């Protein structure tokens, strides 16, 4: 009986969490879209980041961010976190260190309202099935980072983990990094698997986003893409306080 009431309680807590998420997502989207018509992407970025922080407060989720000592918040980076759940994106976006844009699947740009917003914000579409088209996207990303002094958020695993364990990092993001020539900022998350395991149930609590020491261009530019991917992946594993190492690697 106790277990039954506990499940009922979890259901209503999760219902509240998802309701807040979708309601706030709509409010953030409309606010950001309106701001883009009267302001610029940097203002939208700061506004969205502040609204995401507010959203997590009313969800009773404590999001902590940790940066290296003497971290340069004005430097452009290619930010590379691990990807455990759907909730990674709003959590990480709430504590991004500076103005950041991203790359999303082409199909997202056809979604009503959201597609228009990300296009106007400066998000770039990528066709993962076409290598040449992907490289053209990376070339545009390189130009945008330099012209706008912006950072780029990339999930190098390519998609979310099915079991909470870190996957292999794709080579393409590192080929892009060698093209852009800016430091790579490894990022490890803690607590997201407990916050939102696969499925409906969500549990309020503490999550942590830890940024590591930036990897200088000189440290990765001459490496093979797969070697650079392994190096950064090892750094991300070390930054997470969760057990994200696959069983076959232990």
Phi first, then psi: give them for residue 115, nearest 5 degrees.
Answer: -60, -40
Question: Model's pTM, two decimal places?
Answer: 0.91
Between CA 35 and CA 198 the distance in angstroms is: 34
Q: Which CATH class is domain 2-249?
A: alpha beta
pLDDT at res. 28: 95
Residue keyed to tokens 């340069």 = 72
10-residue stretch averages of pLDDT, the chain, 250 residues long: 81 94 95 93 95 97 95 94 90 96 89 91 85 81 85 89 88 87 94 85 94 96 94 96 86
**pLDDT at residue 63, rounded to an integer:** 96
For residues 11 and 202, give the distance between their C-alpha atoms in angstroms, rounded to a whole number.
Answer: 9
Residue 109 neighbours by CB distance under 10 Å: 16
Q: How many CB atoms lie within 10 A of CB 108?
A: 14
What pLDDT is stored for residue 163 in this prediction?
82
Q: What is the DSSP string of 128-151?
A: TT-HHHHHHHHHHHHHHHHHHT-E
Q: Read out DSSP for 69-85?
A: TT--TTS--EEEE---S
Residue for token digits 């990528």?
A: 126
* pLDDT of amino acid 217: 94
Are 87 and 192 contacting, i.e. CB atoms less than 8 angstroms apart? yes
Quick one: pLDDT at residue 237? Answer: 96
* pLDDT of the residue at 193: 87
Q: Where are the domains of the chain?
A: 2-249
How distant, in Å, are the alpha carbons of 52, 55, 67, 99, 241 from that of 207? Answer: 14, 14, 15, 22, 10
Query: What's the rounded Cα separation, in Å, for the pair 159 and 137?
Result: 18
């Amino acid at each position: 009986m106790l277990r039954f009431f506990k499940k009922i309680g979890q259901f209503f807590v999760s219902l509240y969490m998802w309701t807040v998420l979708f309601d706030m997502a709509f409010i953030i989207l409309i606010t950001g879209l309106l701001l883009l018509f009267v302001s610029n992407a940097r203002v939208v970025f700061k506004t969205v980041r502040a609204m995401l922080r507010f959203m997590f407060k009313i969800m009773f989720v404590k999001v902590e961010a940790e940066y290296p000592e003497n971290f340069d918040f004005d430097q452009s980076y290619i930010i590379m976190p691990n990807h455990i759940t759907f909730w990674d994106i709003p959590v990480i976006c709430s504590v991004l260190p500076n103005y950041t844009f991203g790359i999303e699947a082409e199909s997202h740009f056809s979604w009503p309202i959201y597609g228009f917003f990300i296009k106007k914000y400066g998000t770039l579409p990528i066709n993962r099935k076409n290598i040449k088209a992907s490289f053209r996207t990376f070339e545009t990303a390189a130009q945008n980072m330099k012209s706008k002094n912006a950072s780029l958020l990339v999930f190098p695993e390519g998609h979310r983990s099915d079991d909470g364990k870190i996957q292999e990092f794709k080579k393409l993001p590192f080929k892009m990094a060698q093209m852009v020539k800016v430091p790579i900022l490894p990022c490890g998350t803690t607590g997201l698997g407990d916050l939102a395991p696969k499925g409906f149930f969500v549990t309020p609590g503490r999550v942590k986003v830890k940024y590591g020491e930036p990897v200088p261009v000189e440290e990765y530019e001459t490496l093979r893409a797969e070697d650079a991917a392994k190096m950064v992946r090892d750094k991300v594993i070390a930054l997470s306080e969760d057990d994200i190492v696959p069983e076959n690697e232990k």
